[in-house]
Amino acid sequence: MANCLNHPDREAVIHCAACGKPVCSGCVVQASYCSDICAERGKAAAARACGVIDERRRTRKSALPKRIALVIILLAIAGTLYWYYSNNKKQIDRKARSIVNSVDRKNRDAIRSNQYRAPDSKFKRDRENLVR
Ligand SMILES: [Zn+2]
Ligand SMILES: [Zn+2]
């Protein structure tokens, strides 16, 4: 440890917590500072740090209810959909089946019409001409 900045003949016992100056036991202010100015500065910085931590804790706390609310809303939506489905199961199933059937029919029609039209397509005629 270096010697006290104010008393070069005395050994310093601490480095000021605010400015880092080495000071002897006779110069120490409030256990860890070299002067009242540094003590004030150090305490202000500590208070700011505490304030920042408090702020973070507050925002984290306020974010939690929002997340819970979101989960509740999603559950409510899912529950409503399930309730709606279980109450209209037959109608919905019939509707779904009719959609599937109509899609199937369209697909079959499309395949049939493609097969039907295929021999007439210019591409296929050209290819057959090339093969011959
Ligand atoms: Zn200091
Ligand atoms: Zn001193």
Q: CB–CB of 18/33 below 8 Å?
A: yes
19 C-alpha to center of ligand 1: Å? 4
pTM reported for the whole predicted model: 0.40
Rounded to the nearest 10 degrees, the angle between the axes of helix 89-117 and helix 36-87 is 80
Q: How far is the CA of 47 from the centre of ligand 1 (A)?
A: 17
The domain spans of the chain are 1-87, 91-132
Q: What residues sit around ligand 1, an ion, with C-beta below 5 angstroms?
A: 16, 18-19, 21, 34, 38
Residue 11 is encoded by which pair of tokens?
């050994």
33-42, 52-61, 88-97: segment of lowest average pLDDT: 52-61
As a whole number of angstroms, the distance between CA 41 and CA 31 comes to 14
Residue 124 pLDDT more than 70? Answer: no
Amino acid letter at 82? Y
- Report pLDDT for 117: 59
Amino acid letter for position 48:
R
Helix (H, G, I), strand (E, B) or coil at 82: helix
Mean pLDDT for the chain overall? 86
pLDDT of residue 90: 87
- Report how far residue 52's alpha carbon sits from residue 27's, in angstroms, rounded to the nearest whole number: 31
pLDDT band at 58 (very low <50, low <70, confident <90, very high): confident
Are the CB atoms for 5 and 26 separated by under 8 Å? no
Q: Which residues contact 42 (CB under 8 A, 6 or more apart)?
A: 17, 18, 32, 33
Q: Which two structure tokens, joined as six digits, stand for 101?
A: 């059937």
Judged by its nearest atom, the ligand closest to the C-alpha of residue 42 is: 1
What whole-number distance in Å separates Cα of residue 38 and Cα of residue 40? 5
Shortest-distance ligand to the CA of residue 28: 2
